[in-house]
Each structure stands twice: as C-alpha cells, then as structure tokens.
Chain A
Amino acid sequence: MSSSGHNLKKWFRGAESAETKSTGPGKSAPRTSRRCIGLGELLRNLKSAGEQKLSVLDLGPTSPANISFLTGLGARVFNEDVLREAQDPGYLVKQEDGSMQIDPSKFFAANLDYPPDQFDAILCWDVPDYLPEVLVRPLVERLQVMLKAKGNLLAFFHTKDAGPESLYSRHHIVPPDVLELEPIQGFRLQRIFNNRHIENLFKDFASRKFFLGRDNIREVLMVR
C-alpha cells in the first residue's frame, strides 16, 4: 500500500515537474491552443487552388512548426516578423512637434519588399492590433498588392472583451486547424478594431469572412 502510495506521489511529482518545465523562468510562456476555423478554411482553399508551388508569407515571429508544416505542403515559406521590425528605432523620425514616429516609407523600404502577386496566402495573425497606427493602413495596402488574385489572408482581431492586457502571441500551426498560442511579452494592444473598421481597412479585398471565437478573437479570412 505504501509503495503504491509512493508510486502515486512519484507519478504526480513527475507530472508536476513536466508541467512546470515549460513555465520555468527564462523559458517561453506556456502555450494555449485554440481551434481556428479561419486557418482550416485557408488551408482548404490552398489545397483546392491546386498550385504546384505555393508561396506563403508568415508575418509573425519565426515559428519552426509553421515552417515545417508549410514546407511539408511543398510551399515556399517567407517569414517577416513585422512587429519586431517595427520596434527598431532606426525607423523613427522626428516629427514637427518633436515627437518620434515611425516613417512608413523608411519602414517599407526595408520590409515586405516583394513584387505584386507573389503570395498565395498571407498569415497576418494579430499583427494589426499591435502595430503602430501609422503602419496599419500601408501594411494592409501592401499585403493586398502582394497577394495573388484569389489569394487568402488570415488576420485576427481582439474584441473589446479580450481586454487591453491581451498578450501578443506567436502562432504555431497544429494541423489541420488548431493553433498553439505562445505569448510574447513586450507588445501592447494598440487598438480594438470593430467590424466596420475591419471592413474599411480591407475594402479592396473581394471577400471577407468573419469567425468569432470563444476566446474573444475575431478571425477574418480575406480573399483578394
């Protein structure tokens, strides 16, 4: 009895240590997973497009899982961590009022410099919610140009209920339609887009599909 109790304790200790392993100091924050209908639909669209060599742009922080998954599909994967780049003080210019602000032309000269009709899909994740205001519209315009006709763009937007402390996350694809979210510190939610804002922002796209998740994230799948 005592030995079985000991084993049981050992078992639970083992489970505990396994759990805390990923949350220890210096480690990345624990991941949560969520089902992502928009992603599932995007992947279905990509498969049905029947392209021989897909090109997919990931705008989030480098995710080994995404690169692995997408290259496994035979896609050429492009990765640009736009938000991290936007933190670079090199893009700041002094305004007339003395404040410092990102110069969009300078920023886009160094980032997202691709020819038109390059990508079959763009994974925008929740980047627009955290991006400095001056970059949001130019970013969307540029993405629209870079997408092929009938190309897909997946973006997430926090709703009011998500709260201002919503953490920016790195999104790892777990096929077929699950995302693991790995919170990344150091970025603050800049704004909340409502449906009308989103429609205005992506007005040049042919279609927009909205999916509201239980976690107060609005998934939007845009098709050019």
Chain B
Amino acid sequence: MICDRRSVSYVNLIWSEESETKEKGADMWKARPEDNKPMTMNPTQPAQPVPPLAAATTPSPSTPAPHKETPKASEPHRSADVGHIGKSVQIRGELTGSEDLYLDGEIEGSIDLRDHTLIIGPNGKIKAGITARDLVVHGRVEGKVSASGRVELRKSCTLIGDVSTQRIVIEDGAFFKGAIDIKEKDAKPESRKPLAAAAISGSGMSSGEGSGITYSAAPASQGSFLDPK
C-alpha cells in the first residue's frame, strides 16, 4: 500500500512539474487561450520547486511518466498492512494485533495474531506463546506455537516448544525441539489443499519424494510469506 501512496505522490510531483513547464511556456511562446484554463491547479501560486528526482525524470510526451518509474517493490514485510517491529525493540507483555506482523526484536510474554501472519526475523528472539494463522520463523522462538494455517521453520531458525498447526514446513538446518501436532482441518472452508498434513521444503523434501507419501505441493506453489505479494 505504501507503494501506491508513493506512486500517487510521484504523480503529483510530475503534475506540478508539467504545470511549471506550461507556465514557462506561456512566457516564451504566444499564450493560447487553453493554456490559461485547466492545467495549473492554482494559477495564483508560483510553481513549486521540483525535487531533483522528479527533475531527473522529466516525462517526455512519448513515455507516460507514471509507468516510467514505478516505485521499487519494497520488502513485503514493510508493506502498509504488515506491522514491523525492528531488531532494537524489546517488548515484555502481551502483543495482540489484527494485521500481519514482521517481528525482528525481542518479545517476552505472549503474541496473539489469531487471523494473521507473523514473521519472526533472523534477529527475533521470542519467549512467548504464539497464536497466529501463519507463522514463519527465521530467528529464535521459545514457547508454545499454535497456528491455524501453516508454520514455516526456516533454516536459520531455532524453535523450542510444542507446535500445533495444520501444516508445517521445515527447512533443512532448522533446529526444533518439542512436539509437532498436526491439527485436523476444521470444517471451516479454506483455500488450502485438503490432503496436506505436512509439507517439507529444502533438501529434506527430496528424501520424501517418490516415497508414496502424499506431500503437499505447497512449498513450490505457495512460496514464502516473504515473497512479494
């Protein structure tokens, strides 16, 4: 969503620049009646100075400006509907929320993001019970984890505690100590594959392939929560 806002503000900048050139043009060339009418937002005010970025990307008539320089795809965890807690943040207590959260700091207490995704970054150190829809762990978690959707343990992660989830993805190299309980799928309809009990990514997957066990194709088809949406 931030991307959208940036693109909107960028369009505004282009707009002001265009209006400025039009005004300059009005000085240089013979003024036409239509020049005075619609182009400037506020003709009484002087044209706003154009920041260098906009100046460097002056739109040519052949290339439409908004498409020429779209905002960079920002990291998904920084998008507007994903909260972000940085690595220097330490929290003790209860953390609840109604949006996805990227957590790279230290938390002691409990985390409740019942219907949302929680991503523990590589610097994250969590000593808390976690309830979330989906959980991706890169850092360290000590505590009971309950996820109604999927749990992903990435290769750099350490998880000490019991996990209760519908689906779990464990990368080779992840350290896990505790119990894994695969919950039965609720009657509540979800757009997840029904047969999947557990899905494994990384090289561990290869050992299971062709074994007659029905693994979910989730790792390949669904990708990561960290992938740009």
A residues with a Cβ closer than 8 A to B are 22, 28, 31, 61-65, 67-69, 71-72, 74, 76-81, 84-85, 172-176, 180
Minimum CB distance partner of A64 in chain B: B204
Provide a sorted-by-A list of 29 A–B residue pairs whose CB atoms are within 8 angstroms. A28-B173, A62-B170, A64-B202, A64-B205, A65-B200, A65-B205, A67-B168, A67-B198, A67-B200, A68-B198, A68-B199, A68-B204, A68-B213, A68-B215, A69-B211, A71-B168, A71-B180, A71-B182, A71-B198, A72-B198, A72-B215, A76-B180, A76-B182, A79-B179, A79-B180, A80-B177, A81-B175, A174-B208, A180-B207
Instruction: A84 to B177: give the CA distance in the assembly, Å.
Output: 11
Q: CA of A183 to CA of B203 in the docked complex: distance in angstroms? A: 14
Interface residues on chain B, size class: 20 to 34
Extra 7 A-B pairs, beta carbons < 8 Å, given A78-B179, A176-B212: A61-B175, A64-B205, A67-B170, A67-B198, A72-B215, A76-B179, A80-B177
Which residues from 176 to 229 on chain B have a C-beta closer than 8 Å to any C-beta of chain A? 176-182, 197-205, 207-208, 211-215
Asked if B47 lies at the interface with its beta carbon under 8 angstroms from chain A, I say no
Contacts of A64 in B (CB 8 A): 170-172, 174, 200-202, 204-205
Complexed CA–CA distance, A146 and B214 (Å): 30
Residue of A nearest to B159 (CB): A62
CB neighbours of B202 from chain A (8 A): 64
Residues of B within 8 A of A63 (CB): 204
From A61, A74, A81, A84, contact of B197 by CB (8 A): A74
Closest to A66 in B: B204
Task: Tell me which of A65, A76, A175 has the highest count of chain B C-beta atoms within 10 A of its own C-beta.
Answer: A65
